[in-house]
Structure 1
Amino acid sequence: MTPRLRTVLLAGGGGGARLARGFYGLVSEANTLVLTNPGDDFEHLGLLVCPDTDSVLYAVADAIDAKRGWGRESESWSVLAEIERLGGATWFQLGDRDIALHLLRRVGLDAGQSLACVTADLAERLGIQALQIVPATEQRVRTILTTGEGDLDFQSYFVGRKCEPKVESLQFQGAAEATPAPDLLTFLKAGCDAVILGPSNPYLSLAPMLAISGIVEALGNAAPVMAVAPIVDGAAVKGPLAKLMTDRGLEPTALSWVDEMKTLYPGLIDLWVLDSRDQEAAEVLRLRGDRVLVCDTMMTDTTQKIALASQLIEEVKRFV
């Protein structure tokens, strides 16, 4: 019997969550640890909300609202309506089923459990088996955006201001003092065949994880690193990436994304995964000496999610 490959997937936002669902469909072929972004986490109504972690949990459990790309499917809003009636804060929408998960997270944390243990418990409650979903650190890391309107935390920028202010710079508070999740280090120590950077926003979803002290070195020294492009045919698949690149004076293309990733993380990435609609960009990269995989990276249904994960696994086998 062929041993399962050991892979780490960095999953932030919708793209990373969809790819995590793809790897969940291939647990017989790959033992995957999914690392989630803590930079979006914040306290709301007395609850710790972990949007990227929860998106991964819901996507893997086939419980995510596919139309919105976040939150629970078949959601109801009775609690939010009552909060509004009582004059409470409703700018950040939490549905009833979503609140139930946050309440259970609060119970676990208040009982002294680690965030990783609480996340594993929530995954089990959602019926997820044979896939580790681990927040990138146990310490507090928060994304702060410096804009023309001043400093904004991620949720104030993303939800409150709908990504409208021009972003001048980013900082990840607490990342330099934080340490990588113990479960990640244990997984890497036992052996790893590949690290995959999901098709996630490099500034808002991947960077908070990669800013954690020592994590780039740990990942880069453990295995070959491949990165899946979140830009397809000159447009961001989802979210504010194209705007953020424009704010930085960059053209939102797959080639610009590669160049930016090389600037941010020199020498880290061994293989670039581009969509088939970016064949010209792939040829340019190959002429530069880069290793490139071209395939269909759009994941509109479960079959496509699993298909992309399968192609990545086949590429990993060429490294092993």
Structure 2
Amino acid sequence: MSELNITLLAGGVGGAKAAEGLTLGPYRNGLNIIGNIGDDQSFHGLWVSPDIDTLTYTLANAIDRDQGWGLKGDSKRVLSQLQTLGCDTWMQLGDLDFATHIYRTVQRQAGVRPTEIARAIARGYQVDVPIWLPTDHTVATKLDTESGWLDFQDYFVGERCAPKVRQVCYHNAHLATATPEALAAIDNAQLIVIAPSNPLLSIGAILAIPGIRSAIEQSRAPVIAISPLIAGQAMKGPAAKLMQELDMRPDCLGIAQFYQGLIDLLVIDESDAHLAPAIEKLGIQTLQTAIVMNEPSDREHKMRTIITMASQQLGIHLSARACA
């Protein structure tokens, strides 16, 4: 295994794919993951943490790969009964998935740190790669839309991203404190990788936590980001639509502009090679390669290729085994 210490910032399905690719390759032992908690929300009296759970289930190979979230083979009998009782059930939670949320809620009510709860759930699923929370405080991604202010899940799942967005905010982020585990993961990293996650809805919530962005900026480790957009289209989710509504360029140049001052290199798809000169004018190097990640073996190959090529370009030494 490689001795390269990598810290991955991840949210959504794109973040889980990148995380899985790294854990299946030679970088597992040196990997730390900082996940998005901005889309956490309460449903049926239970605290649900979708992005952290998606990371956990994916790394446990327990994810429902057809839908990209939830547990494979799960049923929805509880949800069906809740619907019979007159509850809103647009947030699709499986029966086995409910166990995770019940455990998390009980532990939170007992005063256990959310970071420790997330680690305990990961251990329960036999995931040994550290998944750290950026903060133990509650920070909520909210969107100002033509339908009014919406919590993230109401926008993303309830409204299926349909309302036009005027503003994105990370409620209470200014009151939050970064976890020491997340800061240590950044400080100890030899390479920091931003997954191909939605920059506004996933990565933005992590960077909004006081101390996280400054720790990355002050880190001695090079920082690379993988574009979630290919030829102006999101690999999954509403990133392009959202960026366009907020007067941002809905392409990998817009991604570079969002991360300008934070990253050293942006990984873009070969089809976006024509945008490389404009990105490089921002002081950001580009790496052009195929970035679509489908099956787990494909994710491992793509992430190994990205890390190897980026490390060579940035002058990071890799072991011979990591390059093999």
Q: Does 1:204 align with 2:201?
A: yes
CA contact (8 A) 1:157 1:163 kept: yes
Q: Superposition pairs for residues 135-284 of structure 1, below 5 Å?
A: 135-189=133-187, 191-222=188-219, 223-262=221-260, 267-284=261-278
Counterpart code for 2:94: G
| Secondary structure of 1:169's aligned partner | strand
Tell me, in whole angstroms, the C-alpha distance in 2 between the residues paired with 1:33 and 1:100. Answer: 25
Q: Superposition pairs for residues 67-86 of structure 1, below 5 Å?
A: 67-86=66-85
Residue in structure 2 matched with residue 297 of structure 1 by the alignment = 291
* Structure 1: tracts of 5 or more residues without a match: none
Instruction: Give CA-to-partner distance per residue, 1:258-291, whole Å, 9 cap, x none.
Output: 22332xxxx1110111112222222443466531
Tell me, in whole angstroms, the C-alpha distance in 1 between the residues paired with 2:102 and 2:28. Answer: 34
* Structure 2: tracts of 5 or more residues without a match: 318-324
CA contact (8 A) 1:23 1:30 kept: no
Instruction: Give CA-to-partner distance per residue, 1:44-99, whole Å, 9 cap, x none.
Output: 11111001111111111111111211111111011011111111221211111111
CA contact (8 A) 1:4 1:29 kept: no
Counterpart code for 2:245: D
- Normalised to the residue count of structure 2, the TM-score between the two structures is 0.91
Residue in structure 2 matched with residue 311 of structure 1 by the alignment = 305
Counterpart code for 1:219: I
Tell me, in whole angstroms, the C-alpha distance in 1 between the residues paired with 2:167 and 2:88. Answer: 28
Counterpart code for 1:306: E
| Gap change, CA 1:184 and 1:27, over 3 Å in 2 | farther
- Normalised to the residue count of structure 1, the TM-score between the two structures is 0.92
Tell me, in whole angstroms, the C-alpha distance in 2 between the residues paired with 1:212 and 1:139. Answer: 10
CA contact (8 A) 1:7 1:30 kept: no
Aligned residues: 313
| Secondary structure of 1:34's aligned partner | strand
Residue in structure 2 matched with residue 18 of structure 1 by the alignment = 17
- Using the TM superposition, give the Cα deviation of residue 28 of structure 1 relative to its aligned residue in structure 2, in angstroms: 5.3
Tell me, in whole angstroms, the C-alpha distance in 1 between the residues paired with 2:148 and 2:105. Answer: 31
Counterpart code for 2:252: A
Tell me, in whole angstroms, the C-alpha distance in 1 between the residues paired with 2:109 and 2:258. Answer: 41
Q: Alpha carbon RMSD of aligned pairs, Å?
A: 1.8
Identical-pair percentage: 36
| Secondary structure of 2:30's aligned partner | strand
| Secondary structure of 2:106's aligned partner | helix
CA contact (8 A) 1:228 1:273 kept: yes
| Gap change, CA 1:227 and 1:90, over 3 Å in 2 | same
